[in-house]
């Protein structure tokens, strides 16, 4: 059984549906490496396993060149210059989804929090928390209204920067799942911290806060205010409120959302950590067909 927590880890398990019980006489091929700055692995059991894995790894590497904050990606070029000419269509698609998530969550999902994240990381690495004045100095460059994009260019307000960490893992999970489906694999689980299952026999997924979801043809993501923290004491989490500049409070131990796309589940679960009630979360999910709140603790 797979257990889901928010972590920087990717595992892709793929088995052809033609043979029952997920047990085949086909070879098993496993790849381990780094993707999106984190440990990654791909496991495929299929007659053409090695070739399928090679294609998946190449696609992950290509998409790192779009979304990564850890290499010279399209996103890093945009953040450095404030403008990116002829942006890749994957970036445009992801930004369009970010706009939908921003609207549905009342502004809580906002990729322009990157300057705030950088402030917190810098201050805590130096042994202190950012002051109110520090936060107030950064807030004017935060806000989705400072992002404009079309097929010709992406433009940011002066001093702004983006992080797509709240959605890109799910987006890439969807892309890899789609690739494997195109190869004829339908009993597939893609796990990048955000999970995506194709149509098939279903995958039992254990939620870290308790319970289990039988995942079929959907994406699943879990987030927690203190899932990843800046400080050694574990009290200041990485999910920052773009409206106030403050970290999410530990109102919920964890929020788990499923949706037809892992990218949607990823973004909604992140934003839900900044919401005060189940009703607020459900209202945000209502903006996306098929989105469900699977667990709230």
User: Which three-class secondary structure state does DSSP give residue 140?
Assistant: helix
Comparison of pLDDT for 138 and 16, the residue scoring more: 138
Q: Which of 50-54, 78-82, 106-110 is predicted least confidently?
A: 50-54
**Mean pLDDT in residue range 128-133:** 97
> Rounded to an integer, what distance in angstroms lies between the CA atom of residue 175 and that of residue 192?
12
Report CA dihedral (94, 99, 100, 101) to the nearest 10 degrees. 80
Whether domain 74-156 has CATH 3.40.640.10: the reply is: no
> Rounded to an integer, what distance in angstroms lies between the CA atom of residue 190 and that of residue 176?
7
pLDDT higher than threshold 60 for residue 13: no
Q: What is the pLDDT of residues 195-236, one digit of tens each?
A: 676 666 566 777 777 777 777 788 888 899 998 899 999 999
**Interacting residues of 207 by C-beta distance below 8 A, sequence separation 6+:** 3, 4, 213, 222, 254, 256, 294, 295
**Mean pLDDT in residue range 274-293:** 97
Q: What is the pLDDT of residues 239-271, one digit of tens each?
A: 999 999 999 998 888 999 999 998 999 999 999
pLDDT higher than threshold 60 for residue 4: no
pLDDT higher than threshold 70 for residue 62: yes
pLDDT higher than threshold 50 for residue 22: no
Q: Name the one residue in this structure whose structure tokens are 């019980």.
A: 21
pLDDT > 90 in the chain, percent: 55
pLDDT band at 124 (very low <50, low <70, confident <90, very high): very high
């Amino acid at each position: 059984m797979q257990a889901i927590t928010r972590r920087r880890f990717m595992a892709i398990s793929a088995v052809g549906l033609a043979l029952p019980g997920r047990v085949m006489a086909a070879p098993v091929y496993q790849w381990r490496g780094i993707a999106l700055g984190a440990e990654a692995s791909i496991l495929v059991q299929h007659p053409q396993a090695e070739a399928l894995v090679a294609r998946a790894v190449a696609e992950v590497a290509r998409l790192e060149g779009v979304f990564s904050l850890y290499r010279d990606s399209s996103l890093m070029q945009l953040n450095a210059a404030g403008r990116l000419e002829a942006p890749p269509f994957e970036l445009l698609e992801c930004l369009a989804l970010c706009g939908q998530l921003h609207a549905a969550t009342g502004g809580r999902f906002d990729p322009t929090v990157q300057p705030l994240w950088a402030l917190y990381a810098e201050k805590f690495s130096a042994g202190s928390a950012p002051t109110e004045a520090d936060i107030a100095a950064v807030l004017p460059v935060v806000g989705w209204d400072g992002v404009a994009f079309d097929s010709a260019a992406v433009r940011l307000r002066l001093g702004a920067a983006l992080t797509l960490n709240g959605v890109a893992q799910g987006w890439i999970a969807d892309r890899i799942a789609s690739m494997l489906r195109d190869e004829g694999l339908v009993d597939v689980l893609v796990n990048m911290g955000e999970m995506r299952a194709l149509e098939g026999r279903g995958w039992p997924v254990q939620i870290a806060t308790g319970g289990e979801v039988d995942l079929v043809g959907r994406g699943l993501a879990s987030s927690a205010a203190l899932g990843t923290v800046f400080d050694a004491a574990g009290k200041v989490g990485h999910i920052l409120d773009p409206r106030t500049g403050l970290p999410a409070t530990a109102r919920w131990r964890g929020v788990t959302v499923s949706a037809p796309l892992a990218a949607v589940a990823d973004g909604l679960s992140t934003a839900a950590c900044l919401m005060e009630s189940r009703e607020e979360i459900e209202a945000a999910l209502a903006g996306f067909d098929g989105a469900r709140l699977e667990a709230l603790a």
